[in-house]
Structure 1
Amino acid sequence: MNLDLVARRGALRRIAGTLLAPLAGTASAAVLAQPGDHFPSRPVTLWVPWAAGGATDLTMRLLAEIAGRHLGQKVLIENRGGAGGTLVMPVLQQAAPDGYTIAQMPQPVFRAPWVQKVTWDPIRDSTPVIQISGVTFGIVVPANSPIRTLDDLFAWAHARPGELTVATNGTGTTPHMVMDELFGRRGIEWVHVPYKGVAEQMIAVSSGQLMAGVTSNGFAPFVDSGKLRLLATFGEHRTRRWPQVPTLKELGHGIVAMSPYGLAGPRGLPRPIVQVLHDAFKAAMFDPQHIAELAKYDQELAYLGPEDYGRSMRETYAAERRAVERLGLAAKGS
């Protein structure tokens, strides 16, 4: 073999290697720069559509704290209460799909577009990450109230048209919709008093400023301390925490409402980032500390991954349209 030829070939290979090295480094950097590879490199903001201090806020804060440990970055809570829990949707609609803005998705975001005109769509403008849990809804009255059963509440309201004041956690929320249906069936006039936060709502009811309240798990401490009387819950079965309290279903009203919720990001959130967020929050939701916190409000885990949660969101959106139309609450043109 010609040694000069071998030497020349070796030299050419070394030169080619030297010339291609920067390109190889660029290609490697490009791979490393793919979404999710270095995510997150700064804190993530989780928007909660309820006022601070309520049951959902407290459980979400703990979940965020635990998830932050798995992400290696803090998860910061931002509260945006009001409008029945729908104010997170404009946030998601305007946020960059980089994973640093996510939000809790409560049931009302799937109902509101059928009830009123909004500029956002809960399916189009979000990317599902994970479903976490559902809530226990209940109807409460002050502990010293003469009303001891749901039938007592109906009878009192029927005898005094337009005098019964009932607080809920917002217009268009599940408690509002359920009470509207229950009273509507009986032709009962009532005064709806919406609140942004569960805590202030329960204080108003327990102090006698209002006659009844319908809300989610935040009533638990008030019921357990004897400040409120729980008349009925909305689940499929009686709760383990208050087994003596009947459900709307067993009372013959044919209503079951648990309002499952989860987390979502903006539209177009890349799959690798979704996976990173999902894995961190899944680990957090199954953490014993989080499970114990949910138990305080008689909540249980209702895990769904991104695909199954997305399917559930679409089914919920369609079901809410049917419910709104059945109650005659549909917005014109919807």
Structure 2
Amino acid sequence: MPVTRRHALGLGAAALGTPALAQRNFPDKPIRMLVPWAPGGTTDVQMRAFCEAAGKRLGQPVVVENKAGAGGILGAQALLNERPDGYTLSQMPISVFRMPFMSQRPLFDPLADFTYVTHLTGYLFGVVVRADAPWADFPAFLADAKANPGRFNYGTPGVGTSLHITMEQIAGQRDVQWVHVPFRGVAENMQALLGGQIHATADSSGWGPLVEDGRLRLLVTWGPERAKRFPRVPTLKEHGIDLVSTSPYGVAGPKGMDPATLRILDAAFQGAVADPAHMAVLDKFDMPAMPMGPEAYTAFVRRTVEDESAMIRRMGLRL
């Protein structure tokens, strides 16, 4: 599914919306926000704080509805069947921009099938093991995995997620063979790790409290610099692995949203990103605020789709 001029033009049309009758009193009822991850994880906690702040600015509740599974694409998939009236939106993880290029029969076109509203933030990712694991640092884990091909496994939130793809990129750079075990969310992932069913977990910073409590050991983080909460833990780049993975994301709606509705939502969402209660959650999880309006976010999506599709072709990834 190559990126073509038709796709790029479709993305622009989706962002601007098609002519529609203006909704004079939008919103006049609650807004559904699809979160394609399990309750209790980093994204769920962040999105709930964001939605509460957004609801105060819109004068209507923004209600989170979890749709976990399938690597984070179920929210986007659901938008295909929703009216473009602004009352159903979804968090859009980067897996939405990858999955169509990994599938023989794509379910949607990320460049033409959605209206991109507001970009929000990105993650702190890292690899954790149990506190009693034999690996004191990431090089030790890599060395053991390289010496024992296929013996060690790791959990992630799903196939095709940034966690899965980055772990395979690490394996490719270091000639490691390990086994991927996908889970539906952070709760299942952490339970399997603590219970000894998997050796390591690659996930967003929902593991932070368990690391701080001494139950897990954080081996490495994947950001451009060390995390504020874990300044002693090196990044991948410090270990000579030339990768940075933060998986930025935002909020989108169905294609063809009315521009007036889009402006109302974006104004409220930009304010919600900067809301002190929401910023406190971002700080708790070491997540940077990365607000972008519809035009900048749409341009970002276009670049991301081009980069991700090229990476998938290069790695030969298929579902």
Greater displacement, 106-115 / 195-204: 195-204
Structure 1 residue 279, shift from structure 2 partner: 1.2
- For 1:222, the equivalent position in structure 2 comes to 210
- For 1:107, the equivalent position in structure 2 comes to 94
| Aligned residue type for 1:136 | L
Provide Cα deviations, 1:290-327, integer angstroms capped at 9, x if missing partner.
00011111112001111000000110011001111221
- 5+ unaligned residues in a row in structure 1: which ranges? 1-32
Partner of 2:239, secondary structure, is coil
Q: 2:188 aligns with which of 200, 222, 233?
A: 200
- Whose relative contact order is higher, 1 or 2, with alpha carbons under 8 Å and at least 6 apart? 2
Alpha-carbon separation, structure 2, partners of 1:315 and 1:238? 26
Greater displacement, 202-211 / 318-327: 202-211
Greater displacement, 185-194 / 211-220: 185-194
2:312 pairs with 1:328 = no
Q: 1:277 aligns with which of 265, 269, 279?
A: 265
Structure 1 residue 188, shift from structure 2 partner: 2.5
| Aligned residue type for 1:66 | A
**TM-score where L is the length of structure 2:** 0.91
Structure 1 residue 187, shift from structure 2 partner: 3.5
Q: 2:125 aligns with which of 114, 137, 145?
A: 137
8 Å Cα contact 2:173-2:241 kept in structure 1? no
Provide Cα deviations, 1:125-166, integer angstroms capped at 9, x if missing partner.
110110110000001111110111111112211222211010
8 Å Cα contact 1:141-1:229 kept in structure 2? yes
8 Å Cα contact 1:232-1:248 kept in structure 2? yes
Structure 1 residue 257, shift from structure 2 partner: 0.9
2:242 pairs with 1:238 = no
Structure 1 residue 330, shift from structure 2 partner: 5.3
Moved over 6 A (4+): none
- For 1:40, the equivalent position in structure 2 comes to 27
- For 1:212, the equivalent position in structure 2 comes to 200
Alpha-carbon separation, structure 2, partners of 1:330 and 1:293? 35
8 Å Cα contact 2:130-2:193 kept in structure 1? yes
Structure 1 residue 203, shift from structure 2 partner: 2.5
Partner of 1:250, secondary structure, is helix
- 5+ unaligned residues in a row in structure 2: which ranges? 1-19
2:170 pairs with 1:182 = yes
Aligned pairs for 1:257-268 (under 5 A) are 257-268=245-256
Alpha-carbon separation, structure 2, partners of 1:35 and 1:129? 17
Alpha-carbon separation, structure 2, partners of 1:329 and 1:34? 43
Larger radius of gyration between Structure 1 and Structure 2: 1
Aligned length: 299
| Aligned residue type for 1:179 | M
2:43 pairs with 1:59 = no
8 Å Cα contact 1:202-1:222 kept in structure 2? no
8 Å Cα contact 1:142-1:207 kept in structure 2? no
Fraction of identical pairs, as percent: 44
2:107 pairs with 1:119 = yes
Alpha-carbon separation, structure 2, partners of 1:104 and 1:197? 15
- For 2:56, the equivalent position in structure 1 comes to 69
| Aligned residue type for 2:266 | H
